[in-house]
Structure 1
């Protein structure tokens, strides 16, 4: 009989038919799902009979739904990262040393990674824990994605990680385009918000094509270039005019007015 090392963070009792005697399997699946939302390919595989978001009990379902929706919200960012990889061959899920080569402390960090130029992801990989240490690379400030708290780089911080939270930080000077809620990538997704994390001048190139055909190989694609001036606190756009839900409230500057 499998016995978890610690008390499971997700009650398995209403998912017994799916998880059998593995009481910590719903917790494992939730943590894996959170981690999967920040990978180039997000696939809901598993060794249980069912792997839908409702298959692991009432406590797990809203957390899985949260990260499924977040993945779609981040799609304009992720798709643009994929375009960058297509153009230059560099991975957008990468070790910290690729972005912070001047910081010798990142060399031995094997349980954190950058997801594109903006997001630092620190998955929870221990059963039953609700916090973990995260090293924030030097040379920039960082924002806690969930709380918007700003911290200096070059330090290790203890971060709260309850079962519904994967530690996630945004590099200062990041421009994060976020899409409207959609049911699948078959839908045309407009920009709902552009979040700016101040601290230095920033750039982001938003890429778009039809998402279905190979017509992008004939140049049928769109590029919108965002530039953030930290001195003037102004975000400008050049190139193709991005399709947005509304211009009102489109730009959100994190920390503005605080």
Structure 2
């Protein structure tokens, strides 16, 4: 890797398959020096990231980070930016991602991301998928890392009959691949992400220095609020922003719980809402419910102007 990539200018790696992937899921049937996969398999991705990290560090690299498909406790020490793998393109999968991301953060691995829209099954010109990828894009705007990826349909034709050219490629997955309506929505959220750079930089610094999750359950900041412990379909993006992703298809509104102890500003309407209550919030396709603590609104208001 050093000879063929790093020495030619590659600073970080997409390490991909770190589990490793098995042909037979009989975990007692695979043997390593330290024991069977059933005994030691979960430590494999830690050693996988460590091996690359150690090589990069020995060659003088600093601030090391690599995109990797699997992790375990301690992987964060070795620059592991983890994504959730080759997941299904469905709203059920989107709901799973929220749970996965929050658990990863609480487990001490703050650098986490997903394939926006899922990896398997998305069809570029299908209206149902366009709804899904839009909702997923809105959610991903408030994830630690925001990235597009996926094996879209229909596949392209192979480029040749030789070598790698024999392999077809997935369809386009750039934001403009899903029609003008979707593209215009995604542009707004890309601008928002860019506008939030200073805010995100602070959250990333806290994650690096103190292990503070970039995304976290409501109870992380509002542990004295008993109701906050029961909310599993919302999260905090940093210290100031509450996000309630749209997790079901054809949703026109959803209920949002606002933690007690703060007043909250609806970023789309500017309405001020007292905490400690659940309220209905409209969810047209271009809006994901987002609230900002009133005490921080003056610092963040300008960033959210791109949504209106």
Taking structure 1 as the reference length, the TM-score comes to 0.60
Following the alignment from structure 1 to structure 2, what is the Cα–Cα distance between the partners of residues 20 and 58?
A: 12
Of 295, 301, 304, 1:173 maps to: 295
Matched, 1:116 2:220: no
1:35-114 superposed matches below 5 A: 35-48=139-152, 49-114=171-236
| Counterpart in the other structure of 1:139 | 261
> Contact 1:37–1:71 at 8 Å: present in 2 too?
yes
> Aligned in 2, Cα 1:85/1:21: closer, same or farther, shift over 3 Å?
closer
Residue by residue over 1:28-85, the C-alpha shift from the partner in whole angstroms, topping out at 9 and shown as x without a partner, is 0000000000001001122311111110012111001111111101111101110111
Q: Aligned with 1:174: secondary structure? A: helix
Do structure 1's residue 162 and structure 2's residue 284 form an aligned pair? yes
Distance in 2 between residues matched to 1:33 and 1:114, nearest whole Å: 17
**Contact 1:176 1:194 survives alignment (8 Å):** no
Counterpart in the other structure of 1:23: 127
- Give the distance between the partners of 2:296 and 2:264, measured in 1 at CA: 10
In 2 relative to 1, CA 157–175 (structure 1 residues): closer, same or farther, beyond 3 Å? Answer: closer
Correspondences of 1:232-251 after superposition (within 5 Å):
none
Q: What CA distance in whole angstroms lies between the structure 2 residues aligned with 1:134 and 1:50?
A: 34
In the TM superposition, what whole-angstrom CA distance separates every residue of 1:193-249 from its partner, at most 9, and x where no partner exists? 589xxxxxxxxxxxxxxxxxxxxxxxxxxxxxxxxxxxxxxxxxxxxxxxxxxxxxx
8 Å CA contact retained: 2:195, 2:303 = no
**Is the contact made by 1:124 and 1:166 (CA closer than 8 Å) also made in structure 2?**
yes
1:172 CA displacement: 2.0
Answer 1 or 2: which has greater helix percent. Answer: 2
Task: Name the structure with the higher strand share.
Answer: 1
Structure 2: any 5+ residue segments left out of the alignment?
1-89, 92-121, 153-170
Which has more radius of gyration? 2
8 Å CA contact 2:259–2:275 kept in 1: the answer is: yes
TM superposition outliers: structure 1 runs of 4+ over 4 Å: 175-178, 192-195
Match of 1:245 in 2: none
> How high is the TM-score relative to the length of structure 2?
0.51
**What is residue 34 of structure 1 aligned with on the other side?**
138
